[in-house]
Amino acid sequence: MKEFPIKKEKHTFIVFLPVFIFISVMMPISLTMYILMMTVGRNETVTTGVIIIGAIMLFILPLGLWIWAFLYLLPSVRISEVGIERRLLWMKKKLSWEEIKDIAMINTPTQGWLFFSESKIVIKGSGFWEISKYRLKRDNIFLASNDKILDVVNKYAPKKLLPIRFTNDVYYKGNSHQ
């Protein structure tokens, strides 16, 4: 009987795919609305100001949001026994478990964000601006969290980094390293 090789587990996750998909769907709709406004809806009451405001609202702002979502929410994050790797096209960042000084979860009402950092993370709140501050730091790798991701982190992270710190000091129920 022929034996199949053992399949290696893949622990690769997208940072936050639902928002990127939503913005990607809204971008062509917005562009279509702008084109319709400039062609079909064009008459003598459409002033230069309306055209400029329409261009900003229906083209420039959605394009900026799509670029932001592409750069920050679409990268893939791979968690392994060696460390964490974030990759998008030619850009990649790797952190070994020895380089990671802190793992923290910032909770929001809708989503938990898991951060791996080369420095200590001081969490002062859970609002959008607090999370954005940590997303923009170069020494952080982050992703939207779920139970599967937390299980993988608990499997590979060294004991000195566990348990994962949550903003409300409630530890993940699966942590055995308390």
Per-residue pLDDT 10s for the chain (178 aa) are 555 454 456 689 999 999 999 999 999 999 999 888 888 877 777 788 888 898 899 999 999 999 999 998 899 999 999 999 999 988 899 999 999 999 988 877 778 889 999 988 876 765 667 777 778 888 889 999 899 999 999 999 999 998 887 765 433 344 444 3
Cα Dmax for the chain: 80
Q: How far apart are CA 160 and CA 170, in angstroms?
A: 18
Residue 44: exposure state from Cβ atoms within 10 A (0-12, 13-18, ≥19): exposed
SS3 (DSSP) at 152: helix
Can you tell me the distance from the alpha carbon of 157 to that of 151, in angstroms, rounded to the nearest whole number? 10
Query: What is the Cα gyration radius of the chain?
Result: 21
